[in-house]
Amino acid sequence: MRRSSDELAKMRKAGKVVAEMHEATRAAIRPGITTRELNAIAAEVIEKRGARSNFLNYHGFPAVICTSPNDMIVHGIPGDYVLEEGDIISIDCGAIIEGYHGDAAYTAGVGQISPTAQKLIEVTERSLWAGIEQMTKGNRLNEIGRAVQKVAEGAGFSVVREYVGHAIGTAMHESPQVTNYWPGVPGPTLKTGMVFAVEPMVNVGSPETFLMDDGWSVMTADGELSAHFEHTIAITDNGPEVFTLA
Ligand code: MG
Ligand code: MG
């Protein structure tokens, strides 16, 4: 769907709130903090900015952010987990302003992390930006996933297939989906005013996933590390505009 400039202005505002949630949680990441405390920090930002949470109560999800450590790919529920030196932690944040949604995620290291973990984080973020570079009017949607996949697999990692990015607007998850791989067809033509959440999930090992009994936590099947980066991005006449940057 193509959004009006008025709608895009609201999404820009929602994106700024999400960016602030990133900054606040990132500043708090250290050994000894719980994922529940990180959730409380993000909730404070939502409150302070007069936004609403799109995560809370989403199909019953009980928090305003997802916190997914180490071999957890996405959708982790904040709780008693205590961050440890050497962990990596993926934090997914979202907010609604005047009915319009923002959605973005990052992965950070906790203290000193392994060279593999560091490389995984860098490559996953770079794969997201390679995807964003494809977001120009007239290009085809699935060029995004092709670019993401090239960076991730070029570094010796794999991209998750079962979970994907999405169009976003008056709902967090709108059609079409944005894969992080080339799905075999080019997909729709990108037009000015379209907005997508692009979100590569990159694994050190195999791309296979495993859903935990809590019905939310998505793990790598092989127990290897996974990272996740996401931005909400609009197609404009002058190229991509990333709404969820500070
Ligand atoms: Mg997200
Ligand atoms: Mg998303």
Mean pLDDT of 104-125: 98
Ligand 1 geometric centre to CA of 157 (Å): 21
168 alpha carbon, closest ligand: 2
Q: Which residues are 86's β-sheet partners?
A: none
Residue type for 182, please?
A: W
pLDDT digits (tens, 9 = 90+) for 177-219: 999 999 999 999 999 999 999 999 999 999 999 999 999 999 9
Res 188: pLDDT: 97
Ligand 2 geometric centre to CA of 103 (Å): 5
CATH number of the domain that residue 162 is part of: 3.90.230.10
Ligand 2 geometric centre to CA of 8 (Å): 17
Ligand 1 geometric centre to CA of 45 (Å): 17
Cα 131 to Cα 68: distance, rounded to the nearest angstrom: 23
With a pLDDT cut of 70, the percent of the chain lying above it is 100
Ligand 2 geometric centre to CA of 228 (Å): 10
Could you give the count of Cα atoms lying within 13 Å of 49 in the half-sphere of its Cβ?
23
Closest among 138, 156, 172 to 57, alpha carbons compared: 172
Ligand 1 geometric centre to CA of 75 (Å): 9
Q: Does residue 22 contact residue 125 with C-beta atoms inside 8 Å?
A: no
Q: What is the mean pLDDT of the chain?
A: 98
What pTM value is reported for the model? 0.98
Split into its structural domains, the chain has a count of 1
Q: Where are the beta strands (DSSP E) in the chain?
A: 65-69, 72-74, 88-97, 100-109, 158-159, 165-167, 174-178, 195-198, 201-203, 209-211, 218-220, 226-228, 231-236, 239-242
Cα 166 to Cα 160: distance, rounded to the nearest angstrom: 14
197 alpha carbon, closest ligand: 2
Q: Can you give the residue range of the structural domain that contains 20? A: 5-242
Residues 6 or more apart whose CB falls under 8 angstroms from that of 227 comprise 88, 90, 107, 120, 121, 123, 124, 125, 201, 202
Ligand 2 geometric centre to CA of 36 (Å): 21
Ligand 1 geometric centre to CA of 137 (Å): 24
At residue 104, the 3 state secondary structure works out as: strand
